[in-house]
Structure formats: C-alpha cells, structure tokens
C-alpha cells in the first residue's frame, strides 16, 4: 500500500504541471494497467476488496498530490524550472530503459503514433490563454467546461499526455489551479460551480478512456505497449530542461540522478514489477 500511496502522490503532482503526465507517472511506478483494470471494474460494479483498497489509497495520494502540487510544486516550477524539469526528466528517461524490455515485438507505426500524439499538441500551445470566469454562460458551464474536462481527463490517463496542458490550450488551466490553491478558503459559489462542472467532465473522460484502453489491452497487447513506449518517448520533448531555462550542468545531472534514484526506490517498494503490464 505504501507504493500505491506514493504512486498517487506522484500522479497528483504530475497532473498539476503542464507538460508532465499523470499517466506517465502511473507507468513509471508500475500501477498503470492495474489502475486501468480497477477503474474499469468499478464502472461495471465488479471490484475486489484489494482493488478497492488500492483505489482508495491511490486516490488519497492523488488528492494530496494535487493540493501539494498547487502550492509547492508550482512554486518550484516557477522559481527553479530548469532543475525541477530535470528531476522529472530523470524519472521518465530511466523508466524507458525498464519499459523497453516489456515490448516483445517493436512496431514502428504504433510507436510513432504515440510519439506524435504527445509532441504535436505542444506546437499548438504557445503558452495557452485564459478565459474569463466572470461571465460564465449556461452553455459554457454545462457544455463546454465539462467537455473540456473530459478531454483533460482522458489526457491525464494516457502516458505522455498532460491534462494540464489540455486545460491550458482550452483556457481553463490558470483559473483551475488558482482556485485549487485557495481551496477550501475564499471560494465563491461561481468558482465552486466551475470546479464541479470541470470535475464531472474529468471523471467522464477518465471512465471513457479507461474502457477503451482496457479493451485495447485485451485485444492487442503488443500494439498498445508500443503505443505507450512512443507516448513516453515523446514526453521527453516537452520537459527537456533546456526548454525551460538555464543552469549549472552539474546540478542538472544531480537532479536527473535524483529522479532516477526515486524510480529505483519505487521499484524496490513494488511487489509487482512493471512486467505485470
């Protein structure tokens, strides 16, 4: 259960930062397929006691990660972006070494599809834009915001894709993270409605993508493993430290090593290797 809690914490932290993927963190710590299977079982009302405990512990970790990330991690990315991205770069880079052994037959089409699915949105981002929540229409509150949440929710699950980036592209990221950082104090009724509308959409997006992924795992395991490998490889592009500032090369290597070291510790805590995927 310790691993599940740590995994949830990392997934929550990752989902706060545009360019860092919660799905990637789930693959790195070896809980991705179990998470997919457990959520799929939950939607079908078929859940074992151990899976329910796993989901609860993971969920608590995710919530803590979101709350912590909205304060501490946002500060780290704003103040020390070069070294903070280096830490995540180390996590992902060394996870690729482990994941490649799980791909029995390399498929270039699925690999490239995963790679470009991750890389392409970052060419569109250009820093995103910000929508005004002061004049929310009924259509926006009950249609567009939930739809935006659904797209972000699906992106949170897929390794390499960033739900935060999707929200940034759609103009809702800055408001969401600012409101969460103030939670539960100084929240207006309009902001509560915004969070509920966005949250419902995110849940719907997660459920839909989980069902699709679970079906893919069952029907074409080799295909989806190549797709995931492409997603993870592509995720190195947006978090390359040099894109986010400059700094001391020695410290850069130190933080990459810290990220890799954390991965090694998490692997040792795991009683099920990533080969369970």
5, 161, 2: which is closest to 68 by C-alpha?
A: 5
Is 93 in contact with 257 (CB distance < 8 Å)?
no
Structure letter (DSSP) for residue 143: I
How far apart, in whole angstroms, are the C-alpha atoms of residue 51 and residue 74?
32
Domain with 101 in it: 2-276
Count structural domains, the chain.
1
180, 209, 176, 161: which is closest to 14 by C-alpha?
A: 161
Question: In this model, does residue 146 exceed pLDDT 90?
Answer: yes
Does the predicted TM-score (pTM) go above 0.85?
no
pLDDT, tens digit, 9 for 90 and up, residues 227-272: 888 888 887 887 889 988 899 999 999 999 998 887 777 666 554 4
Is 23 in contact with 160 (CB distance < 8 Å)?
yes
């Amino acid at each position: 259960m310790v691993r599940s809690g740590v995994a949830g914490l990392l997934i929550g932290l990752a989902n706060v930062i545009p360019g860092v993927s919660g799905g990637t963190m789930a693959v790195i710590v070896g809980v991705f397929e179990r998470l997919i299977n457990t959520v799929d079982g939950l939607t079908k009302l078929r859940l074992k006691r151990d899976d329910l405990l796993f989901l609860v512990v993971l969920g608590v970790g995710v919530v803590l990660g979101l709350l912590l990330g909205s304060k501490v991690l946002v500060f780290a990315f704003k103040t020390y972006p070069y070294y903070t991205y280096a830490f995540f770069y180390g996590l992902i880079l060394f996870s690729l070494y482990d994941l490649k052994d799980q791909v029995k037959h390399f498929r270039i089409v699925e690999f490239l599809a995963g790679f470009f699915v991750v890389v392409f949105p970052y060419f569109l981002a250009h820093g995103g834009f910000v929508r005004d929540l002061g004049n929310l229409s009924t259509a926006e509150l009950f249609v567009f915001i939930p739809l935006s949440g659904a797209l972000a929710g699906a992106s949170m699950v897929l390794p390499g894709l960033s739900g935060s980036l999707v929200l940034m592209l759609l103009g809702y990221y800055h408001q969401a993270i600012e409101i969460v950082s103030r939670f539960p104090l100084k929240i207006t009724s309009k902001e509560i409605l915004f969070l509920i509308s966005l949250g419902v959409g995110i849940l719907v997006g997660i459920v839909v993508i989980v069902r699709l992924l679970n079906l893919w795992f069952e029907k074409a395991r080799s295909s989806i493993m190549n797709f995931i490998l492409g997603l993870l490889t592509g995720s190195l592009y947006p978090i390359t430290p040099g894109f986010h500032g400059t700094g001391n090369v020695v410290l850069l290597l130190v933080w990459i090593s810290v990220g890799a070291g954390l991965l090694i510790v998490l692997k040792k805590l795991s009683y099920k290797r990533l080969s369970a995927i």
